[in-house]
Chains A and B, each alone.
Chain A
Amino acid sequence: MTPRQRNTGLIATAVATVIFITPFLYIFFMAMKTKKEAALFLFSWPSEWHFWANLTEVIQARNYMLLLAYFNSTVITVGAVTMLIIFGAMVGYVLQRRQSGWNRVIYGLVLAGLIVPPAVVPTIWVLQGLGLFKTIHGMVLIQVAYGLAFSVLLYRSFIGTIPRDLDEAARIDGATPWQIFFRVILPLLKPVTVTLIVVQSIAIFNDFTNPLYYLPGKDNVTVQLTLFNFQTQFQSQFNLLFMNILLVTIPPLLVFIFFNRQIVAGMTAGGVKG
């Protein structure tokens, strides 16, 4: 490392700290302060640390709404991601292995799924017709519908790297298509599967717009909606509001620390021509 590289690194770190880390430190400090001190909005070391007091108060607010929100968000995320993995891999598999006129159609639909903004009110109308409006499973299916295109795209390109000989061998051994897929192919897709689980979980957990439209109502609150509602409720209690933000920021931070490599793979996958 040349002195120039070292100095540039030091300057870059200083600038990045001010621009990118300060807001997170600010969240952390605000979350620890007393109500009075937080209202000053200052970027300062808390004079008294009110971690437990703030934490318990946020959790107990509105009859433990935050816990319910975490529960709902977890159910939606786990349910939707499971379906996105299995359904997406099945489509990617057939799309890659079987060349036919239908492929162009499916491909066009996948691209449409990535680009076209969902028509919200007609979607509510369909959900109502099916009895799925304002229900958790309705929300799960919405997330599946909106996330499928990305899953299919990622799986399709990865399945291209798995030799067809494997399917052939399994078929000659008498395996059914179902067995070939679930016993032979799906286990081999693990690297993409992990990437997709991480990336889609973060996207669904952080989603605000879709629950806002399709999952209104007190019993169905999700984490992001709770945060948004607390914004008005905690107008004079910024310490609690920021404690809430802190709690919402911790899951992605943990995922980032443990799955950094997979996230990078997933985020750049659609990107550089593959």
Chain B
Amino acid sequence: MASRQKSPYPYWFVLPAAVVFVTLFLVPTFASFWFSMTRWDLFEAHFIGWDNYHQFFKEPFLVQGLVNTLIYAVLTSASKSVLGLLLAVLLTSGILWQGFLRSVVFFPVLVSTIGIGITFQALMHPTKGVINIALAYVGIDGPSWLSDPGLALYSVAFIDLWKGVGLATLIYIAGLAAIAPDYYEAARIDGATRVQQFWRVTVPLVRPATVTVITLSLIGGLRSFDIIWATTRGGPGFSSDVLASVIYKQYQAGFYGLATAGNVILFMLIAIIILPLTWWFNRREVDL
């Protein structure tokens, strides 16, 4: 008598989300593989095989964009995880005004990247900027942070660190809270110093947070665009160009096929770095 009842969790619930996601995310992603092999003006696409990719790896400034992307991502990710952990340890040790300090470190995460970029442009001005004036007080002749080709990329990475370290700290604070105090007590009874406790207890046990911080900041670093665009626009020359800014420049210049090839390269780069990393992190976790 009871006919097969319909599930109370119908699949059409997924439909609205799926329509938007498929049309505006999946379709363009798959289409990008085709368009990256064409000369394309948004209306007509002529198949030209691997030419765009050839050009990407032949033009020195495009190659530099690729190298810069890697430097930038590794640098910001490493510095955010190291400083984030140290700050998190400091901000969970019961110091004076701990709550306020946490807020201060975290707030830049929420602020407009463009606003921060413009502010640091002024602060890093070679002659009038606050940073170099302060350095001059202690007798240091400050460099042209954002207009020296050898330094621009690193200065932008520093601004990114300044803005993003609060998120890493926050994730580490949550990770530290999950470590049972018993471990520290046992270590103390065994006579471990504070430094030993940090290396032997904190670092291994905060691993899940480390994995998250490194993965998130690597993905963010590889895709990073707005902070660079707001401060140097890839310049001077192409010295601080990264893949995302190269893609935008090619798009602006009307080289849609080439821009899309850049997009596919960025996608591949992220996949090549993130997938093995995730696999490696998960494998290590089983060993522990």
Enumerate chain A interface residues (CB-CB to B < 8 A): 1, 5-6, 8-10, 12-13, 16-17, 19-24, 26-27, 30, 40-43, 83, 86-88, 90-91, 93-95, 97-98, 102, 106, 109, 113-128, 130, 141-142, 144-146, 148, 152, 167, 171, 177, 180-181, 202, 206, 208-209, 212-213, 223-224, 227-228, 231, 238, 241-242, 245, 248-249, 252-253, 255-256, 260, 263-264, 267-268, 270-273
Also in contact, A227 and B16, with CB within 8 A (given A12-B90, A272-B209): no
Residue among B20, B175, B229, B270 making CB contact with A141, cutoff 8 Å: B20
Residue among A141, A260, A267, A272 making CB contact with B178, cutoff 8 Å: A272
The answer to the question of B193 belonging to the interface, with a C-beta cut-off of 8 Å to chain A, is no
Also in contact, A171 and B8, with CB within 8 A (given A6-B96, A117-B263, A122-B35): yes
- Which residues on A sit within 8 Å (CB–CB) of B212? 270-272
Query: Taking each of B20, B42, B162, B248, which has the highest tally of chain A beta carbons within 10 Å of its own beta carbon?
Result: B20
Also in contact, A121 and B35, with CB within 8 A (given A5-B95, A177-B8): yes
Q: How many residues of B are in contact with the other chain, CB < 8 A?
A: 91
- Which residues on A sit within 8 Å (CB–CB) of B82? none
Residue among A41, A109, A121, A227 making CB contact with B260, cutoff 8 Å: A121
- Which residues on A sit within 8 Å (CB–CB) of B23? 126, 130, 145
Chain B residue with the shortest CB-CB distance to A128: B42
Tell me the interface secondary structure of chain B in the complex.
helix
| Segment touching A, from B73-81, B184-192, B218-226 | B218-226
Contact: A119 with B110, CB < 8 Å? no
Chain B residue with the shortest CB-CB distance to A224: B114
**Which 6 A-B residue pairings sit nearest by Cβ, starting from the closest?**
A9-B96, A119-B32, A9-B95, A122-B28, A41-B128, A145-B24
Contact: B122 with A13, CB < 8 Å? no
Contact pattern, B 95-115, Cβ under 8 Å of A = 1, otherwise 0: 111101101110111111111
Contact: B21 with A113, CB < 8 Å? yes
Contact: B14 with A94, CB < 8 Å? yes
Also in contact, A119 and B118, with CB within 8 A (given A20-B105, A26-B130, A271-B174): no
- Which residues on A sit within 8 Å (CB–CB) of B225? 209
The answer to the question of B183 belonging to the interface, with a C-beta cut-off of 8 Å to chain A, is no
Contact: A121 with B13, CB < 8 Å? no
Enumerate chain B interface residues (CB-CB to A < 8 A): 6-11, 13-14, 16-18, 20-21, 23-29, 31-32, 35, 40, 42, 90, 93-98, 100-101, 103-105, 107-116, 118-120, 122-123, 125, 128-130, 133, 162, 167, 170-171, 173-175, 178, 208-209, 212-213, 216, 219, 222-223, 225-226, 229-230, 244, 247-248, 251, 256, 259-260, 263-264, 266-267, 270-271, 274
Residue among B98, B101, B267 making CB contact with A117, cutoff 8 Å: B267
Contact: B171 with A271, CB < 8 Å? yes
Also in contact, A141 and B24, with CB within 8 A (given A128-B42, A272-B174): yes
Chain A residue with the shortest CB-CB distance to B134: A43
- Which residues on B sit within 8 Å (CB–CB) of A90? 13-14, 16-17
- Which residues on A sit within 8 Å (CB–CB) of B14? 90-91, 94-95, 106
Kindly list 7 other residue pairs between chains A and B, CB separation below 8 angstroms, not including A41-B130, A121-B256. A9-B96, A16-B101, A20-B107, A42-B133, A209-B244, A245-B115, A249-B111
Chain A residue with the shortest CB-CB distance to B269: A117
Residue among A109, A212, A260 making CB contact with B26, cutoff 8 Å: A109
- Which residues on A sit within 8 Å (CB–CB) of B267? 116-117, 119
Contact: B171 with A267, CB < 8 Å? yes
- Which residues on A sit within 8 Å (CB–CB) of B219? 114-115
Contact: B113 with A227, CB < 8 Å? no
Contact: A227 with B209, CB < 8 Å? no
Chain B residue with the shortest CB-CB distance to A270: B212
Bound state CA distance, A272 and B119, in angstroms? 33
22 A-B residue pairs with Cβ-Cβ distance under 8 Å, sorted by A, are A1-B94, A8-B95, A13-B96, A27-B119, A91-B14, A116-B267, A119-B267, A121-B40, A125-B31, A126-B23, A145-B20, A171-B8, A177-B6, A208-B112, A224-B112, A241-B118, A248-B112, A249-B112, A252-B110, A253-B110, A267-B171, A273-B208
